[in-house]
Amino acid sequence: MKFSIQINEGPYQHQASDTAYQFARAALAAGHEIFRVFFYHDGVNNATKLAVPPQDDRDIPKLWSELSKENDLDLVVCIAAAQRRGMMDVDEAKRQGFEDNNLNEGFRISGLGQLIEAGIESDRLVVFGA
């Protein structure tokens, strides 16, 4: 079955990012396809490449990035939510005149249309959030 996942909450804010990650892993292990993971609202903070959590704690942004690499996941960050929170890929940072960017490997920035498409193309859309 084809699943998509929406995440509305930042990592370490409460538990939604962890639950979504564990759900995604379990779905892949059960042989399901994940069409897209859409990061919305504070959920866009999952996409940072600058997180340095304590060594004995889980590194949620890195876990997503690794899961994406292993399973060729499409991790999409909402552009309007990202711009409000200072989440920039290389091109956008350049366009805005910033020296640095902070979007982790495996993520891409796009618009809400990607969420709508995920809803249409997937058999199930599961929302995890604040």
Q: Which of 78, 82, 109, 118 is catalytic?
A: 78
CB atoms within 10 A of CB 52: 6
129 binds other proteins (CB under 8 A): yes
Check if the beta carbon of residue 118 is closer than 8 Å to that of residue 2.
Answer: no
Residues listed for the chain: 130
96 binds other proteins (CB under 8 A): no
25 binds other proteins (CB under 8 A): yes
What six digits make up the tokens of 106?
């495996």
Check if the beta carbon of residue 67 is closer than 8 Å to that of residue 73.
Answer: yes
Among 12, 32, 58, 117, binds other proteins (CB under 8 A): 32
Which residues lie near other proteins (CB under 8 A)? 1, 3, 8, 14-16, 19, 22-23, 25-27, 29-30, 32, 123-130
